[in-house]
C-alpha cells in the first residue's frame, strides 16, 4: 500500500507541474457553463426545465464533464510513463504491477474529484441552487456522486489504456465513448421530456445517474421529475466497483523492447 | 585486460553464492521470433561480467528477463542462488538502456520516489540520497528538474538510483550509450568506488569499454552464447599481435618463407604493405630484418584486442543488414 501511495503522490505531482492538464480539464466545463448556459437561457423557455434557470441546471453536467476530462487526462499518464521509461523502472520494482495500477488510479481519482468539486464550488455563488437537502447534505451527496463517477471513469480509462497501444487511439476511443454518453445523460437537457427511444438510451447510460444525483443535490427543489438518489447510488456503486476492478485486472509486463 | 577491483563499499552484502546468475538452455520468444534460443551462461558472483553481441542478439532480452525475475519458457534460471521471484527484485537493480527518470521530477525527488518503490525506509533515504548524489557528482543538482540535466548527468543519476537499495546484482544495459568519453570515465570510476562485492552484469556493444572494465565476457549471437571467458582467455586463442610492414619489394618467395615461421598466422599483402599476425612480435621482427635487410622501410606492431576475438566468434550479418 505504501508503494501505491508513493506512485499516487508522484502522479499528483506530475499533474500539478503540468499546468495545461490542470487547467484545461476545468476550463472547458466552466466556459461551457458561462457561454452555453447564459446564451441558451435567454432563448429557452424556463418552464421546460424542472426548476427554471438553465445555467444552474447545467452545473451538474459540467461537473460530470470535468470528471470525464480529468479521468481521460490522468489515465493518459500511463502512456507518458511508458514513453519516458518510468514504467520500466516500476515494473522492475519488487511490487506487484497491480499496486502500480492502484497508485496511478488513486491519483487519477483524487485529481478528478478535486477538479469536479472545484467546478461545483466555483459555480455555486453565481447560480441559484436550491440545495433541497440543505447545503452540507447537498455537498456530501455531491461529493459521493463525484467520487463514484470518477471511480467508474478512472477504471474505464485504465482498462482502455492497458489495451490500446497509442495515446492517440486511447483519446479517440475515450471521446467516442464518453461524448455521446454525456449528451444522453441529462447533462445538457432534461431527459424527462425526451422521446421514448432517447429515454431508453439515457437510462442505460451510467453518466445519467451521476447527473441525476448531482441535480437532486444542488439544483432541484423536489424529486418528482428525477430518478431518485437510491437508484442513482445503487447503479453508480455497482458500476464503479465493476469498472474499477476491470481497470486493475490487466497488468503491464516488462519486455525487452519497452514496457 | 583490466582487473577490476571494486573498493570503498557503501554497504556489505554478506555471503554471496558462487554464481550470481546461472542460465541453462533458456528459450524466450517474441512474436514468433526466438530472442533467446538455447541460451546458457554462468555469471560468477562479484566482479564485472560483460554480455557482448550485435543489436538484436538477445542481450537486452536476457537483462529484461533478469530484471523482471521472470521464469524462462524452457530451460532453467537461477538468480542469486534461487529461482526467479518478485521478492528477489529487492536484491537486484537495473539501469536500462533508456533513461527511466521522470523529466517532470527533480533529481532528488526521483531518487526518493525510486527508493520508496524499492522499499527503502524514508529515514534511510534522507542520508543515502545526498551521499549518492555527492558521489556521482550531482550533489548540487538535487533540486534541479531531471529535464535540465545533461545526458551524462542523467546516466549518472540512473546509476545512483540503481544503487539506492544496495543491490547484490546490478544489471547495466548499455549504460554509457550516447555519453562522451569523459562522462563514461567518471561513471565507471564512481561505480567502481561505490559498488564493492556487487556483481555487475553489463550488456554493451562497446568492445573497448568491455575490454577495460570486465573480468569476464560472453559473446552472444542469435540468442545464444557463442563464446565466454576472461578477455585474456578469449584473446589467447588469437595470434596476439599484428605486424604491419612497409615492404614494397617483398617477393612471393619471401612471403611464403615468413608464413612458414613458427608462431606466424595470416600473411596478407595490400600494395606496399604486408600484414602478418604472430604470437610473438619480439622474435618475428629481428628475423624479418635478417631476411630482408634494407628492404623493410617501417614496422608497426598492434596487440590483439577483444574486438579481434569478438569478430572471430561473432559473424557480421552484413547480408542481413543490406536487405
Say if the Cβ atoms of B67 and A254 lie within 8 Å: yes
**Chains A & B: contacts with CB separation below 8 Å:** 77
> What is the per-residue pLDDT across B250-281, written as a single tens digit (0 to 9) for each?
999 999 999 999 888 878 888 888 888 888 88
Q: Where are the domains of chain B?
A: 19-230, 239-303
* pLDDT computed for residue B9 by the predictor: 38
> Is residue A145 a part of any domain in this protein?
yes
Q: Which whole number is the average pLDDT over B216-242?
A: 84
> Is residue A259 a part of any domain in this protein?
no
Report the alpha-carbon distance of residue B184 to residue B210 in Å, rounded.
12
* pLDDT computed for residue B205 by the predictor: 85
Instruction: Tell me the residue range of the domain where A169 lies.
Output: 2-249
* Mean of pLDDT over chain B: 85
Say if the Cβ atoms of B89 and A10 lie within 8 Å: no
Q: In sequence order, what are the residues at sequence separation of 6 or more whose Cβ sits closer than 8 angstroms to the Cβ of residue B43?
A: B19, B20, B21, B22, B49, B199, B201, B216
pLDDT at B79 over 80: yes
ipTM: 0.75
Overall number of domains in chain A: 1
Which of the residue ranges A183-197, B60-74, B291-305 would you say has the lowest mean pLDDT?
A: A183-197
Exposure string for B23-42, b = 16+ CB within 10 A, e = fewer: beebbbeeeeebbbbebbbb
Which of the residue ranges B6-10, B12-16, B139-143, B221-225 would you say has the lowest mean pLDDT?
A: B6-10
Cell numbers for A51 = 426548476
> Is residue A256 a part of any domain in this protein?
no
Angle between helices B181-194 and B122-135 (to 10 degrees): 130
Residue B98 touches partner A, C-beta closer than 8 Å: yes
Substitution target from B104, B119, B163, B173 for chain A, most A beta carbons within 10 A: B104
Say if the Cβ atoms of B99 and A85 lie within 8 Å: yes
Q: The whole model's pTM is what? A: 0.76
Report the alpha-carbon distance of residue A202 to residue B99 in Å, rounded.
47
* pLDDT computed for residue B108 by the predictor: 96
Cell numbers for B214 = 570486465
Query: Quick one: closest CA in A to B98, which residue?
Result: A85
B243 pLDDT band, cuts 50/70/90, is: confident
* pLDDT computed for residue B132 by the predictor: 93
Report the alpha-carbon distance of residue B268 to residue B263 in Å, rounded.
15
B207 pLDDT band, cuts 50/70/90, is: confident
- In the stretch 270-309 of chain B, residues with CB closer than 8 A to chain A read none
> Is residue A255 a part of any domain in this protein?
no
* pLDDT computed for residue B201 by the predictor: 95
pLDDT at B28 over 80: yes
User: Nearest 5 degrees, angle CA A219-CA A221-CA A223?
Assistant: 100
Question: Of how many residues is chain A composed?
Answer: 259
> What is the per-residue pLDDT across A220-243, written as a single tens digit (0 to 9) for each?
988 888 899 999 999 999 999 999
pLDDT at B321 over 60: no
Report the alpha-carbon distance of residue A16 to residue B104 in Å, rounded.
10
Supply the Cα-derived Rg of chain B in whole angstroms.
24
Q: In sequence order, what are the residues at sequence separation of 6 or more whose Cβ sits closer than 8 angstroms to the Cβ of residue A200?
A: none
> What is the per-residue pLDDT across A81-121, written as a single tens digit (0 to 9) for each?
888 889 889 989 999 889 988 999 999 999 999 999 999 99
- Nearest-neighbour CA in chain B from A171: distance (Å): 22
Cell numbers for A161 = 489504456
Domain B239-303 has CATH 3.40.50.300: no
> Is residue A115 a part of any domain in this protein?
yes
pLDDT at B316 over 50: no
> What is the per-residue pLDDT across A6-48, written as a single tens digit (0 to 9) for each?
888 888 888 777 666 667 667 777 776 666 666 565 556 656 6
Report the alpha-carbon distance of residue A70 to residue A64 in Å, rounded.
10
User: Which residue from A6, A88, A96 is facing B100, i.e. has the nearest CB?
Assistant: A88
CATH number, span B19-230: 3.40.50.300
Say if the Cβ atoms of B103 and A84 lie within 8 Å: yes
Beta-sheet strand order (sheet of B169-173): B92-95, B169-173, B199-204, B47-52, B216-221, B224-229
Report the alpha-carbon distance of residue B316 to residue B57 in Å, rounded.
11
Burial status of residue B138 (CB atoms within 10 A of its CB: 0-12, 13-18, 19 or more): buried
Report the alpha-carbon distance of residue B173 to residue B194 in Å, rounded.
18
Residue numbers in A near B88 (CB within 8 A): 94
Q: Which whole number is the average pLDDT over B125-142?
A: 93
User: Which residue from A6, A84, A92 is facing B67, i.e. has the nearest CB?
Assistant: A92
- Nearest-neighbour CA in chain B from A256: distance (Å): 5
Amino acid at each position: 500500500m505504501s508503494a501505491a501511495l508513493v506512485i499516487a503522490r508522484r502522479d499528483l505531482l506530475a499533474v500539478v507541474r503540468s499546468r495545461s492538464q490542470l487547467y484545461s480539464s476545468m476550463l472547458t466545463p466552466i466556459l461551457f457553463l458561462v457561454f452555453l448556459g447564459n446564451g441558451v437561457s435567454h432563448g429557452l423557455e424556463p418552464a421546460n426545465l424542472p426548476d427554471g434557470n438553465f445555467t444552474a441546471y447545467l452545473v451538474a453536467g459540467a461537473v460530470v464533464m470535468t470528471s470525464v476530462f480529468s479521468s481521460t487526462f490522468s489515465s493518459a499518464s500511463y502512456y507518458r510513463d511508458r514513453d519516458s521509461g518510468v514504467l520500466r523502472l516500476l515494473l522492475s520494482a519488487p511490487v506487484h504491477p497491480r499496486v502500480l495500477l492502484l497508485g496511478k488510479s488513486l491519483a487519477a481519482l483524487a485529481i478528478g474529484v478535486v477538479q469536479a468539486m472545484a467546478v461545483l464550488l466555483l459555480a455555486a455563488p453565481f447560480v441559484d441552487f436550491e440545495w433541497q437537502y440543505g447545503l452540507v447534505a447537498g455537498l456530501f451527496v455531491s461529493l459521493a456522486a463525484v467520487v463514484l463517477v470518477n471511480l467508474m471513469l478512472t477504471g474505464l480509462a485504465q482498462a482502455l489504456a492497458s489495451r490500446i497501444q497509442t495515446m492517440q487511439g486511447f483519446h479517440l476511443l475515450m471521446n467516442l465513448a464518453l461524448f455521446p454518453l454525456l449528451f444522453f445523460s441529462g447533462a445538457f437537457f432534461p431527459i424527462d421530456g425526451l422521446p421514448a427511444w432517447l429515454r431508453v438510451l439515457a437510462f442505460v447510460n451510467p453518466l445519467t445517474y451521476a447527473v441525476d444525483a448531482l441535480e437532486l443535490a444542488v439544483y432541484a427543489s423536489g424529486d418528482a421529475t428525477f430518478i431518485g438518489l437510491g437508484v442513482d447510488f445503487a447503479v453508480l456503486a455497482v458500476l464503479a466497483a465493476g469498472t474499477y476492478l476491470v481497470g486493475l485486472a490487466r497488468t503491464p509486463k516488462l519486455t525487452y523492447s519497452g514496457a | 585486460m583490466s582487473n577490476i577491483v571494486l573498493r570503498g563499499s557503501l554497504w556489505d552484502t554478506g555471503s554471496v553464492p558462487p554464481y550470481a546468475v546461472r542460465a541453462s538452455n533458456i528459450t524466450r520468444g517474441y512474436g514468433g521470433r526466438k530472442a533467446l534460443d538455447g541460451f546458457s551462461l554462468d555469471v560468477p558472483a562479484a566482479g564485472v561480467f560483460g554480455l557482448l553481441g550485435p543489436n538484436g542478439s538477445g542481450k537486452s532480452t536476457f537483462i529484461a528477463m533478469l530484471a523482471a525475475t521472470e521464469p524462462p519458457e524452457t530451460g532453467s534460471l537461477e538468480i542469486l542462488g534461487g529461482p526467479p521471484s518478485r521478492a528477489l527484485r529487492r536484491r537486484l537493480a537495473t539501469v536500462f538502456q533508456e533513461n527511466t527518470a521522470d523529466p517532470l521530477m527533480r533529481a532528488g525527488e526521483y531518487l526518493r520516489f525510486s527508493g520508496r518503490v524499492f522499499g527503502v525506509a524514508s529515514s534511510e533515504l534522507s542520508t543515502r540520497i545526498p551521499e549518492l548524489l555527492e558521489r556521482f557528482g550531482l550533489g548540487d543538482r538535487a533540486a534541479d528538474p531531471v529535464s535540465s540535466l545533461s545526458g551524462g548527468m542523467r546516466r549518472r543519476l540512473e546509476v545512483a538510483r540503481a544503487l539506492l537499495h544496495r543491490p547484490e546484482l546490478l544489471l547495466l544495459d548499455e549504460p554509457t550509450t550516447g555519453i562522451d568519453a569523459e562522462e563514461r570515465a567518471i561513471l565507471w570510476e564512481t561505480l567502481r568506488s561505490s559498488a564493492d562485492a556487487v556483481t555487475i552484469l553489463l550488456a554493451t556493444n562497446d568492445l573497448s569499454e568491455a575490454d577495460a572494465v570486465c573480468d569476464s565476457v560472453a559473446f552472444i549471437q542469435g540468442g545464444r552464447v557463442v563464446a565466454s571467458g576472461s578477455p585474456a582467455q578469449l584473446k589467447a586463442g588469437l595470434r596476439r599481435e599484428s605486424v604491419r610492414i612497409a615492404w614494397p619489394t617483398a617477393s612471393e618467395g619471401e612471403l611464403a618463407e615468413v608464413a612458414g615461421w613458427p608462431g606466424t598466422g595470416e600473411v596478407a599483402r595490400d600494395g606496399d604493405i604486408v600484414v602478418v599476425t604472430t604470437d610473438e612480435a619480439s622474435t618475428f621482427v629481428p628475423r624479418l630484418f635478417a631476411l630482408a635487410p634494407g628492404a623493410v622501410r617501417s614496422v608497426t606492431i598492434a596487440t590483439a584486442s577483444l574486438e579481434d576475438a569478438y569478430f572471430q566468434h561473432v559473424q557480421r550479418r552484413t547480408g542481413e543488414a543490406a536487405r
